[in-house]
């Protein structure tokens, strides 16, 4: 009986920030609160004919896709909190302009992915001003927002992965951009309020989202607890062992 109760008990995803504008305007939300605009404009059915008959009959549109609906019902979304323009070239150089002054964008050293498989890709990393914590150890799968902006689907990718917020609280966004052979002036436009990252809990338990506004001192204390650079390599495993005791 206790096991059944534990499996049904909701989990809480606590999201912390010291950024007042982010907290009030662009909180972490259930994905159903940010359905794609194109999806909202679709009718449930469309009339189509086939090669075998000119008679039009109704078919379900993407608005009725159960796989899509179930995904949105279960996902959590971290929205973009600023308008952002990104331009880059085939040499791995990129420039960006944000509507806010405190956005931080960088990249990992190329030595961390020094393999021919990455030769035609450019790495970029957006520092997300949220710290996320979930105390039971539930894993979350990270998703790119393909469905919210199909036009950007092949301009950049946010690689998937399994994230756990019991032993680390970072929510930064890694992105891969394709190198374009020859002269290019490729531009990517991201807009405040659009989904940036999606998280799918790998659990049947209901997830309650709680957004918290911290004062700068509280935020620094939480950041230092999990972000303290105690090791060159293996910090996550070290923290997992420490907090599993």
**Does a structural domain hold residue 51?**
no
Residue listed under structure tokens 């902006």 = 149
**Whether the predicted pLDDT of 95 surpasses 90:** no
**Does a structural domain hold residue 84?**
yes
**Whether the predicted pLDDT of 42 surpasses 80:** yes
**Does a structural domain hold residue 1?**
no
Q: Which of 26-35, 36-45, 49-58, 229-238 has the lowest mean pLDDT?
A: 229-238
Report whether 130 contacts 15 (CB < 8 A): yes
SS3 annotation, 9-52: CCEEEEEEECCHHHHHHCCCEEHHHHCCHHHHHCCCEEEECCCC
**Domain count of the chain?**
1
- DSSP code of residue 100: S
**Does a structural domain hold residue 50?**
no
Q: In percent, how much of the chain has pLDDT > 70?
A: 89
**Does a structural domain hold residue 6?**
no
How high is the pLDDT of residue 229?
67
* Structure tokens, 82: 């600023």
**Does a structural domain hold residue 151?**
yes
How high is the pLDDT of residue 182?
58
pLDDT in tens, 142-194: 989 889 888 888 889 999 999 999 988 998 999 998 887 655 667 889 999 99
Distances (CA, A) of 112 to 88, 152, 173, 233, 237: 21, 26, 17, 12, 18
**Does a structural domain hold residue 5?**
no
Cα–Cα distance, 213 to 24 (Å, whole number): 9
What pTM value is reported for the model? 0.86
**Does a structural domain hold residue 2?**
no
- pLDDT range class, residue 8, cuts 50, 70, 90: confident
Q: CA neighbours within 13 Å on the CB side: how many for 238? A: 11
Q: In percent, how much of the chain has pLDDT > 90?
A: 54
Q: CA neighbours within 13 Å on the CB side: how many for 95? A: 3
3-class DSSP state of 131: strand
- DSSP code of residue 91: T
How high is the pLDDT of residue 2?
47
Domain that holds residue 238: 11-44+56-243
**Whether the predicted pLDDT of 62 surpasses 70:** yes
């Amino acid at each position: 009986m206790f096991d059944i109760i534990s499996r049904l008990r909701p989990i809480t995803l606590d999201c912390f920030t010291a950024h007042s504008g982010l907290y009030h305007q662009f909180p972490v939300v259930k994905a159903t609160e940010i359905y794609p605009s194109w999806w909202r404009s679709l009718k449930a059915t469309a009339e189509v004919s086939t090669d075998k008959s000119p008679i039009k009959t109704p078919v379900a549109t993407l608005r009725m896709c159960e796989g899509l609906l179930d995904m949105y019902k279960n996902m959590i979304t971290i929205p973009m909190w600023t308008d952002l323009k990104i331009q880059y070239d085939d040499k791995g150089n990129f420039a960006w302009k944000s509507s806010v002054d405190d956005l931080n964008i960088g990249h990992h050293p190329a030595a961390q992915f020094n393999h021919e498989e990455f030769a035609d890709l450019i790495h970029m990393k957006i520092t997300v001003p949220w710290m996320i914590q979930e105390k039971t150890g539930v894993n979350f799968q990270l998703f790119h927002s393909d469905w919210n902006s199909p036009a950007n689907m092949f301009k950049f990718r946010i690689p998937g992965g399994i994230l756990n917020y019991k032993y680390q609280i970072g929510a930064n966004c890694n992105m891969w951009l394709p190198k374009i052979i020859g002269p290019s002036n490729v531009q990517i436009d991201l807009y405040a309020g659009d989904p940036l990252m999606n998280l799918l809990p790998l659990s049947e338990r209901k997830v309650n989202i709680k957004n918290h506004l911290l004062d700068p001192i509280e935020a620094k204390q939480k950041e230092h607890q999990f972000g303290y650079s105690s090791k060159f390599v293996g910090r996550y495993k070290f923290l997992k062992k420490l907090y599993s005791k």
